[in-house]
Amino acid sequence: MRCVIFDLDGTLADTAGDLIAAANAALGAMGHAPQLVMGRDDATALRGGRAMLQLAADRMGMAQAAPMIATGYPLLLSAYGDAIDRHTTLYPGAMDAVARLKARGIAVGICTNKPEGLAETLLTRLGVRAEFAALVGADTLPVRKPDPAPFFEAVARAGGARRQSCLIGDTVTDRDTARAAGRPCALVTFGPLGQSVADLGPEALINHYDGLDSVIDRLIA
C-alpha cells in the first residue's frame, strides 16, 4: 500500500507560537526575562525546545548554556503541555488533503521529533488524531529523526509499504531522514523557512496542500 508520512510541527500545523510561549515561561521560571519573539523566532521554535533555550542563552550572553538548558528543558515541556493549543493552527488544506489521500486508499501517518505524548495531546485537542493510522514521536524508539528508523516504524504502523512511501516535511531533518531511508521527500514552503527549503534539494516542493495529490502521484506512482 502506498503510504505518506507527515512531519507535524511546521508541516501539518503551525505550532511555533505555543512553543515560544513555553520557552519564555521556562525562562521566567528560572528567573530570566523572555528572550524569544513570536514571528521572529518561529524557525528556531520548530527545531525544538533545546534549540530555543540555546538561542535564549546566546541572547543573554551565557558562556555556558548547558546547565540552563538542562534545567529549562523539563520546565519548557511542562509549560508546553499545559498550554499546547492556544496559538496552534493546522495549515490551510492540510486535513482536506489527508482525507483525499485516504479516500484513494493511501495510508497516512505522522513521524515527529515532538515527544509522542505531547503529539498525541495536540492532535487530539485539534480533533484530528483519529485521521492518522500511525504516530511515532521523538521518544517512541531509542532514536529519532534523522535516523530512518522512526520513519520506517510509522510506515509499518500505518500499514504501508516502504518501497511505496514518502515523507512530507519542512526542514533539513526531514530531508535527511528521507535520504537515510532511501525514500523521496517533499518539503512545504509555507512553514517558517519559506521558499528557502528548495535549497535543501527535496524531490518536490508543496506550496499549498491543494497540490499534494499530484506530488504524491509523482513521488510514489
Which residues carry out catalysis? Answer: 7
Q: Cα dihedral sign for 110, 114, 116, 121?
A: negative
Strand partners, 82: none
Which residues are CB-neighbours of 70 under 8 A, at least 6 positions away?
none
Give the separation between CA 38 and CA 58, rounded to whole angstroms: 17
